[in-house]
């Protein structure tokens, strides 16, 4: 019995499993039966609508390794932001099994600090199966604050409303991509200039002591009458 052409096409287009990825610590890895993360990027104005439903695959086996990545954790240690050198940020969170069963969705609020006040940047509504979210582009040198709040299940008509869990917040500032290279280059150039100045000073001292001193320091021969 031959397989349908659609199944063969999906099997050919499926990405191969990553054999070299390091395992993610327990509690941070999405469930095996959740291959997709549904989310909505909400507009700023409430009159603009509810946003468009999108899907993304979870980042399995991700490791934040220096110097290409800097990790920042919330006060409760259940939310972390991995700031990559390409100015993208991977936000990851974890929940206990009992807490995960009571969650309907996650609300992500983003803001950044300006000269005098904070400005909103992005609001996202994520499904209950989501455990990470990628911010593709952040500005250099701006202090960001990301807050994630689990939304409880809707209460039944006869039941009491489920209290909302407190939000976990993490703050970070993206380092400029070329700043580290510029600092290293300036340090190397400065060190080379210092070495050249030392060599020039030693050369001048050598010339002064060995070439010019005999000409002026040797007593002149007196003429005999």
Residue 54 falls inside a structural domain: yes
20 burial via Cβ count (<10 Å: 0-12, 13-18, 19+): exposed
SS3 145: strand
Examine the domain organization and report whether 182 and 124 are in the same domain.
no
Here the tokens at position 118 are 């904070």
SS3 32: coil
Number of domains composing the chain: 2
Q: What is the pLDDT of residue 169?
A: 95
122 burial via Cβ count (<10 Å: 0-12, 13-18, 19+): middle
Residue 3 falls inside a structural domain: no
Examine the domain organization and report whether 55 and 133 are in the same domain.
yes
Examine the domain organization and report whether 50 and 112 are in the same domain.
yes
Q: What is the pLDDT of residue 137?
A: 85
Closest by alpha carbon to 108, among 139, 89, 133? 133
Residue 194 falls inside a structural domain: yes
Residue 100 falls inside a structural domain: yes
Domain hosting 193: range is 176-206
Examine the domain organization and report whether 182 and 97 are in the same domain.
no
Q: Give strand pairing partners of 148.
A: 108, 168
Examine the domain organization and report whether 189 and 123 are in the same domain.
no
106 with 126: CB under 8 angstroms?
A: yes
39 burial via Cβ count (<10 Å: 0-12, 13-18, 19+): buried
Residue 214 falls inside a structural domain: no
Residue 143 falls inside a structural domain: yes
pLDDT in tens, the chain (225 residues): 444 443 333 333 333 333 333 444 555 666 776 788 999 998 765 555 567 899 999 888 888 988 889 999 999 889 999 999 888 999 999 988 888 888 999 999 999 987 778 888 889 999 999 999 999 888 888 899 999 999 998 765 555 656 667 899 999 988 765 545 554 445 656 667 777 787 788 887 777 777 655 554 545 545 454
Residues 95, 171: Cα–Cα separation, whole Å = 20
Q: Which residue shows structure tokens 């291959």?
A: 35
Examine the domain organization and report whether 143 and 180 are in the same domain.
no
Examine the domain organization and report whether 76 and 171 are in the same domain.
yes
Examine the domain organization and report whether 109 and 66 are in the same domain.
yes
- CATH number for the domain spanning 171: value is 2.60.40.10
pTM for the predicted model, two decimal places: 0.63
Closest by alpha carbon to 127, among 208, 35, 22, 39? 39
Examine the domain organization and report whether 108 and 139 are in the same domain.
yes
Q: What is the pLDDT of residue 27?
A: 57
Q: What is the pLDDT of residue 56?
A: 92
């Amino acid at each position: 019995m031959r397989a349908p052409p659609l199944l063969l096409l999906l099997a050919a287009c499926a990405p191969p499993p990553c054999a070299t990825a390091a395992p993610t610590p327990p509690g941070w890895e999405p469930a095996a039966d959740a291959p997709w993360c549904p989310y909505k990027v909400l507009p700023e104005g409430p009159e603009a609508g509810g946003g468009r439903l999108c899907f993304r695959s979870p980042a399995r086996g991700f490791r934040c390794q220096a110097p290409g990545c800097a990790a920042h954790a919330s006060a409760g240690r259940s939310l972390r932001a991995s700031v990559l050198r390409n100015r993208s940020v991977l936000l990851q969170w974890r929940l206990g099994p009992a807490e995960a069963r009571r969650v309907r969705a996650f609300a992500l609020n983003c803001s950044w600090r300006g000269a005098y006040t904070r400005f909103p940047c992005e609001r996202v509504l994520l499904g209950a199966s989501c455990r990470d979210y990628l911010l593709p582009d952040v500005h250099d040198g701006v202090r960001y604050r990301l807050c994630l709040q689990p939304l409880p299940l809707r209460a039944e008509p006869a039941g009491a409303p489920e209290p909302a869990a407190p939000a976990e917040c993490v703050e970070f500032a993206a380092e400029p991509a070329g700043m580290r290279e510029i600092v290293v280059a300036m340090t190397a150039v400065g060190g080379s200039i210092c070495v050249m100045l030392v060599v020039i000073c030693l050369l001048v001292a050598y010339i002064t002591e060995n070439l010019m001193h005999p000409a002026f320091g040797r007593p002149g021969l007196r003429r005999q009458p």
